[in-house]
Amino acid sequence: MVYLVRQCRTVLNAHGLLRGHLDPPLNDFGQEEAEALGREVAGFHPELILTSPLKRAVETAEAIGIHCGIRPHIENRLIDRDYGRWAGVSPDEVLAEWGSLDAAPEVELVRSVFDRATAVLESVVTNKRVVIVTHAAISSLLMASLETGRPQSSGAYSQPTGCYSVIRHLEDGWTILEIGIVPHK
């Protein structure tokens, strides 16, 4: 069982700006989200916590780890999608100029994000209960792509900060059990 966690809120999330490799910490609301996630996820008794190296994900993973009695492990392949010079900008600005994020120069290709994120998933297939703390660009892409095995548009799997989804590996591939669960604070 994999609990796919979207990192908790930062000031950039609150303003709807692309985060990418920018590294802001959690804001006060995000810290409250992380505490709630920690309490809820501890009830699943995870055996491993993997996290993106970015501060907002690490702080989320550490809050979960405290409640679970587990130290999170940094997994560099879980880092947010690289938006290059567009990090810190409203997605609407990029869409107005380029028509899509994928068309904007310097934005990491969806295929690259997919390849590194699915490699992490495949590495934890044998573990029983794993928490993966990452970013919207990663978790949404994974959710949209699990059934087909190739990169798909991630728009249908929009998830709020501080939520988790539950996925499971079966003999014929991954299946989504629950999407975007927000713990009560």
The residue ranges of every structural domain in the chain are 2-79+110-181
List pLDDT tens digits, range 131-151.
999 999 999 888 888 766 667
Residue 156: band (very low, low, confident or very high) from pLDDT cuts 50, 70, 90 = low
At 168, give phi and psi (nearest 5°).
-140, 145
Place of tokens 């900008």: 89
Residue 56: band (very low, low, confident or very high) from pLDDT cuts 50, 70, 90 = very high
Residues 114, 150 contacting (CB under 8 angstroms): yes
- Looking at residue 136, what is its pLDDT? 92
For the segment 163-177, the average pLDDT, to the nearest whole number, is 90
For the segment 176-185, the average pLDDT, to the nearest whole number, is 90
Average pLDDT value for the chain: 92
For the segment 56-65, the average pLDDT, to the nearest whole number, is 98
List pLDDT tens digits, range 20-53.
999 999 999 999 999 999 999 999 999 999 999 9
pTM passes above 0.85: yes
Sequence-distant (≥ 6) Cβ neighbours of residue 177 within 8 angstroms: 166, 167, 168
Q: Which fold has domain 2-79+110-181?
A: Rossmann fold (3.40.50)
List pLDDT tens digits, range 76-99.
999 999 999 999 999 999 999 999
- Looking at residue 157, what is its pLDDT? 73
Q: What does the DSSP 8-state code read for residue 46?
A: -
